[in-house]
Chains A and B, each alone.
Chain A
Amino acid sequence: DVKVTQSSRYLVKRTGEKVFLECVQDMDHENMFWYRQDPGLGLRLIYFSYDVKMKEKGDIPEGYSVSREKKERFSLILESASTNQTSMYLCASIHRGPTYEQYFGPGTRLTVT
């Protein structure tokens, strides 16, 4: 079974703090994604990575950066956390083709106070 793990299920941070969310997958998947999910909105793509050290902005990258130094690990960084970044963050990975089915982590509920 593919396993995608995220470093924390719940996280509370203060405004202005630098926040790291870690994601690890164990199936040698090439592509990895970071989403946020807010009530009434679908999953929105923040960043994705298609290879080590390669990244591409998603639909809502402002206020975020990412790091992929190893194939299995994809980190999301909030440079200076703000209250509007309070959200559920989901990581996913895929093996390329044929269905590109995404495998998700359990999510991190981040609260910024």
Chain B
Amino acid sequence: ILNVEQSPQSLHVQEGDSTNFTCSFPSSNFYALHWYRWETAKSPEALFVMTLNGDEKKKGRISATLNTKEGYSYLYIKGSQPEDSATYLCAFALGSGNTGKLIFGQGTTLQVKP
């Protein structure tokens, strides 16, 4: 059974703090790793889709790194703001066929206090 683990499960930080979370995934048969942000009362939205070992992607204050050989990805938020409060989901893409199927971690819920 393929397993995707995220840590921590939840995080409370002050505005301005920088933070990071981890996603662990199977290191064999890697195809892609997705990060999504899910704000309360909204739809989950894709942040990054990462495919290459050593890849680093950035969107504003949020960045992500990928290590496919050891099976982990980090998501960093620099200078957290209250609007960053959300659940962050990572998902491991199953590469067989063209189904687009993903296995999701349980998520990291971030609360940023003003």
Residues of A within 8 A of B (CB): 4, 31, 33, 35, 40-45, 48, 50, 56, 58, 90, 94, 96-97, 99-107
Q: When the two chains form their complex, are residues B43 and A50 in contact, meaning their CB atoms are under 8 A apart?
A: no
A-B pair number, CB within 8 angstroms? 65
A42→B107 contact, CB < 8 A: yes
Asked if B106 lies at the interface with its beta carbon under 8 angstroms from chain A, I say: yes
CB pair B44 A96 closer than 8 Å: no
Closest B residue to A107 by CB, please name it. B43
Supposing A40-B106, A100-B93, A102-B34 touch, asked if A45 and B100 sit within 8 A by C-beta, the answer is: no
Let me know if A99 and B43 touch, CB within 8 A: no
CB distance from A91 to the nearest CB of B (A): 9
- Residue positions of B touching A, CB distance < 8 A: 4, 9, 32, 34, 36, 41-46, 49, 51, 89, 91, 93, 98-107
Cβ contacts under 8 Å, A35 to chain B? 104
Q: In the complex the two chains form, what is the Cα distance from A52 to B106 in whole Å?
A: 30
Q: How far is the CA of A104 from the CA of B105 in the complex (A)?
A: 16
Asked whether, in the complex, the Cβ of B44 is within 8 Å of the Cβ of A104, the reply is yes
Residues of B within 8 Å of A100, CB to CB, are 32, 49, 93, 98, 100
A-B CB contact pairs (8 Å), 17 listed: A33-B100, A33-B101, A35-B104, A40-B9, A40-B106, A42-B103, A42-B104, A44-B104, A45-B102, A50-B99, A90-B44, A97-B98, A101-B46, A102-B36, A106-B41, A106-B42, A106-B43
Q: 7 shortest A-B CB distances, which residue pairs?
A: A42-B104, A100-B100, A99-B49, A43-B104, A104-B43, A94-B100, A104-B44
**In the complex, which residues of chain B have a beta carbon less than 8 angstroms from the beta carbon of A101?**
34, 46, 49
CA distance A104 to B100 in the complex (A): 13
Give the distance to chain B from A77, nearest Cβ to Cβ, in Å: 21
